[in-house]
Chains A and B, each alone.
Chain A
Amino acid sequence: MAAILQLQNITKTFGKQRALNHVNLTIQPGDIYGLIGRNGAGKTTILKTIVQLLYPNEGSITLFSATSGKDYTKQLKRTGSVIETPVANNQLTARQNLTYYCKIKGIVDKDAIDDALKFVGLTDTGKKKFKDFSLGMKQKLGLAIALLNKPDFLILDEPINGLDPIAIADFRKLLVKLNQTQGMTILISSHILEELYQMATRFGIIDHGTIIKELTKDEFDAQSREYIKLQVDQPKLAATVLNKMGIDDFKVIDQHTLNIYDLSLDNAALVEMLVAASVSVTTIVREHINLENYFKSIVSENEVTPNA
């Protein structure tokens, strides 16, 4: 099946500053692609480039098999997006704003507005105008506007920023529902990583304008499985002890640390064996890598070896 979106060697500069540096990214149908990065890493620039609010200096973007010109712009009609902050007409209510955008998009389905309002939970805002909305309500209306034309591909830029925990959970449920019931492909940028972990099926980590890591949720889960963190004075000797105990699923991390992935291990027995072999144990604790820690470690590696 053809990819929904493909960025090839996209470079974007603002003056002398290079915001995107040869970005390659592919989104497959049905993906919920989580774009992770620090502030200023290039997340919004990527999203703006996709929807043609910015034009790249180099590279090509393919959207629904269209690469450039009128075809590409035409395919943008199959997308819905909320880039940066949600925008709408201040003096209009939620329903009036949706009516306005229905007219622009040429949507004649009479139920479209009610469906969108119901879907995002804004049916009871009455005569309240957009300018008086809370941030959460604005985010929801932004999503409703993006969903009006029932897009195949939804692009969201930090949609859960500023939302309270309940609103965040609601928003997550909405997106997962769209993905699972309507088969909508979603590209979402965020730095609230625990939330992103709960909804995304693939992740792309961007730093200094470059995608430094792409992985599926399954690949991440495999890397983030629980382990026993063991800190000793002589890791080589500790490794020998582990081998003698028949344990080979472990990794020496640094001069004092080993990660042991075999969780059937009896910690007390291990400590006893290590002490008997004159290995001094300072720490033995169960840990696991969450997305946040994983992101930090990947970005730290990139700081040491940039563009590696």
Chain B
Amino acid sequence: MLNMARADMYRLFHSKGFYITQILMIIVTTISILTSTIGIIGGGSDALSNFQATNQRVVWTGVQCVKAMSSETSALIYFILPLFIMTIGFEFSRQIYKNPLSSGMTRLNYFISKYVIFLLISACQVIFYYLFIFLAGGFKNGFGKITGHFLIKLLQTSSIQLLELSAIFAISTLVMYLFFSTITAVVTTILFPLIITVLVQIFTKQHWLKYFSFQNNVDSAYFTHYTSGQMNQLLLVGFGTIIVCLVLAFLSFRKRNL
């Protein structure tokens, strides 16, 4: 797995797509920070709108930037998606999987390696996102007061966000392994969160749906005050989605004719 990770990182750092993605992310977040404006991707909730409105009225120090921009973190779907394509998508669309699989790598090893590497890259992207926001905000208006509470809250928020983002991409991974189609996986990644957001707004009495609204959960991770029971359900649905999707993806891949 370590070998595969080293190879994938090498490939990523030698891909123009990687640098274009990072530059785009920097541009988008820089514009938000410079203008102190944040938006909602794909709907959202009243609580989210209120949180954003409140944050837009205060000075954006580094700490405040992190708080405010946490409600726009679902934009990372679009900045992790190219990395998903470069790490897993190209393997299937260009049949690059043939080389490692035909020279002694088991399908389980390959599957786990690919997913773990993608997960690490996603985690790095979340860290890079917050680090950049903090530094950009800090250079603009000072870094603000970093309290222990803030750091714990940031750790909790980014962990939940990584989990929810991973749940979205677990569905993309399942689609990728089922159809071997990058386009289908990309469309699913973009449409699935939007469809769930719409369903949540239509079927307001179906409270369980909100746990599958991964995109909204990403954006509201910082300020949402879930009860411990609700938090357990959120984590359960997130982890459950990841495990179910990955198991199904592997079962489809394990004996597949390649």
- The chain A residues found within 8 Å of chain B, CB to CB, are 14, 48, 51-55, 70, 73-81, 83-84, 87-92, 96, 99-101, 103-106, 145-146, 149
**Whole-angstrom CA separation of A305 from B35 in the bound complex:** 82
Name B10's contact: one of A53, A100, A106 (CB within 8 Å).
A100
Does B184 make an interface contact (CB < 8 A)? no
B104 touches A77 (CB 8 A): yes
A76 touches B14 (CB 8 A): no
B15 touches A91 (CB 8 A): yes
Does B103 make an interface contact (CB < 8 A)? yes
Selected interface stretch from B94-102, B142-150, B162-170, B228-236: B94-102
Closest to A49 in B: B257
Closest to A101 in B: B99
B7 touches A76 (CB 8 A): no
How far, in Å, is A176 (CB) from chain B's closest CB?
Answer: 23
A87 touches B94 (CB 8 A): yes
B96 touches A70 (CB 8 A): no
> A74: which B residues are within 8 A, CB to CB?
104
How far, in Å, is A215 (CB) from chain B's closest CB?
Answer: 28
> A70: which B residues are within 8 A, CB to CB?
106
Please judge, given known A-B contacts A53-B258, A55-B255, A90-B94, whether A145 and B7 are in contact too, CB under 8 Å: no
How far, in Å, is A194 (CB) from chain B's closest CB?
Answer: 28
Name A106's contact: one of B3, B16, B99 (CB within 8 Å).
B3
Closest to B86 in A: A91
Please judge, given known A-B contacts A14-B257, A100-B11, A103-B10, whether A73 and B99 are in contact too, CB under 8 Å: no
Please judge, given known A-B contacts A89-B90, A103-B7, whether A81 and B104 are in contact too, CB under 8 Å: no
B7 touches A51 (CB 8 A): no
**Whole-angstrom CA separation of A80 from B102 in the bound complex:** 8
A52 touches B3 (CB 8 A): no
| Size bracket of the B interface | 20 to 34
A92 touches B3 (CB 8 A): no
Please judge, given known A-B contacts A55-B255, A103-B6, whether A76 and B104 are in contact too, CB under 8 Å: yes
B104 touches A101 (CB 8 A): no
B3 touches A48 (CB 8 A): no
> B112: which A residues are within 8 A, CB to CB?
none
> A92: which B residues are within 8 A, CB to CB?
11, 14
B3 touches A105 (CB 8 A): yes
How far, in Å, is A174 (CB) from chain B's closest CB?
Answer: 19
How far, in Å, is B254 (CB) from chain A's closest CB?
Answer: 10
Please judge, given known A-B contacts A55-B255, A91-B16, whether A81 and B7 are in contact too, CB under 8 Å: no
Specify which of A89, A96, A146 lies most central, judged by the most chain B CB atoms within 10 Å of its CB.
A89
Specify which of B3, B15, B98, B258 lies most central, judged by the most chain A CB atoms within 10 Å of its CB.
B98
B91-132 contacts to A, CB under 8 A, are: 94-96, 98-106
Does B4 make an interface contact (CB < 8 A)? yes
> A48: which B residues are within 8 A, CB to CB?
258
28 A-B residue pairings within 8 Å (CB atoms):
A51-B101, A51-B103, A52-B102, A53-B102, A53-B257, A55-B257, A70-B106, A73-B104, A75-B104, A77-B103, A77-B104, A78-B104, A79-B104, A80-B103, A81-B102, A87-B95, A88-B96, A91-B16, A92-B11, A92-B14, A96-B14, A101-B99, A103-B3, A104-B3, A104-B4, A104-B105, A105-B103, A146-B103
> A51: which B residues are within 8 A, CB to CB?
101-103
How far, in Å, is A119 (CB) from chain B's closest CB?
Answer: 18
